[in-house]
């Protein structure tokens, strides 16, 4: 199944997530659609308990999908994605889940790095940027920069790839490269979207100015 075929986006509701989960018992393709939908629910639900439950359900479906289709980049990416969401919502379990996120994202990247606009590379970059460093975990600023560059090369017009690269470069105190990448990122911002991406870009700009 292609990434574009998934039930992934604003139209997905908790009820639709439950629908796909029930369908998955008899319809294998619903495993991927259900995992994608439940990931959306987990990200958009403000109630922590409900968000965690959706992320865990997505992870269960994605785990089954990787067993059924071990050569599916989408299945491995959804498993990495849902596991990362569980880790975010259960901080005490987060460090134990980091290796699985890395393993599944690497597998997805090896199979098809193009899905979700360079999503497997972007996920690995975010993981190396956010995780604690050795000996606690796998955090590595240089690897974060490397994988954000790969994500940008894969999908240069995707704003999250550009802004993530800027942040990683700032963490590595490579201000010249961060400045160049931020200059590429500004034209990608939608003029009528003053929240979210604009706030992040402005924050990165302030950090860059403070570091120069």
Reading the chain (212 residues) residue by residue, the pLDDT tens digits are 567 777 666 678 888 888 888 888 888 888 999 999 999 999 988 899 999 999 999 999 999 999 999 999 999 999 999 999 999 999 999 999 999 999 999 999 999 999 999 999 999 999 999 999 988 899 999 999 999 999 999 999 999 999 999 999 999 999 999 999 999 988 888 776 666 788 889 999 998 888 76
Token couple for 42: 């987990």
**CATH of region 114-212:** 1.25.40.10
End-to-end CA distance of the chain: 47
Q: Do 128 and 109 meet the contact criterion of CB atoms below 8 Å apart?
A: no
Q: The tokens of 30 are what?
A: 């619903």
In this prediction, residue 9 carries a pLDDT of 67
Q: What is the pLDDT of residue 7?
A: 63
> What Cα–Cα distance (Å) separates residue 155 from each residue in 113, 160, 166, 188, 198?
10, 10, 15, 12, 20
Q: Where are the domains of the chain?
A: 1-112, 114-212
Calpha distance 74→107 (Å, rounded):
10
CB burial readout 4-15, b (16+ within 10 A) else e: eebbbeeebebe
Q: Given this model, what pLDDT does residue 64 score? A: 94
Q: What is the DSSP-derived secondary structure letter of residue 138?
A: -
Strands (E) located in 4-132: none
- Cα of 207 vs its chain's centroid, Å: 23
| CA–CA distance, 21 with 57 (Å, rounded to integer) | 8
Q: Round to whole Å and give the CA distance between 190 and 115.
A: 22
**Residue 88 and residue 43: Cα distance in Å, rounded?**
11
CA–CA dist 74, 53 (Å, integer): 21
Give the Cα separation of 60 and 68 in Å (integer).
13
Neighbours of 82 (CB within 10 A): 27
Greatest CA separation for the chain: 58
């Amino acid at each position: 199944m292609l990434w574009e075929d998934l039930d992934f986006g604003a139209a997905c509701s908790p009820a639709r997530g439950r629908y796909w989960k029930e369908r998955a018992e008899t319809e294998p393709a619903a495993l991927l659609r259900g995992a994608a939908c439940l990931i959306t629910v987990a990200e958009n639900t403000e109630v922590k308990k409900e968000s965690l439950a959706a992320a865990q359900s997505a992870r269960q479906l994605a785990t089954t999908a990787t067993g059924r289709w071990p050569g599916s980049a989408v299945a491995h990416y959804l498993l990495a994605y849902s596991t990362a969401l569980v880790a975010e919502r259960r901080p005490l379990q987060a460090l134990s889940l980091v290796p699985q996120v890395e393993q599944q994202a690497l597998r997805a990247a090896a199979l098809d790095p193009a899905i979700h606009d360079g999503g497997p590379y972007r996920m690995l970059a975010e993981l190396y940027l956010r995780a604690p460093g050795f000996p606690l975990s796998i955090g590595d600023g240089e690897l974060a920069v490397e994988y954000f560059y790969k994500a940008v090369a894969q999908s240069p017009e995707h704003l999250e790839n550009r802004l993530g690269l800027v942040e990683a470069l700032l963490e590595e105190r490579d201000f010249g490269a961060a400045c160049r990448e931020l200059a590429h990122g500004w034209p990608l911002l939608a003029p009528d979207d003053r929240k979210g991406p604009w706030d992040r870009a402005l924050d990165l700009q302030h950090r860059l100015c403070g570091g120069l």
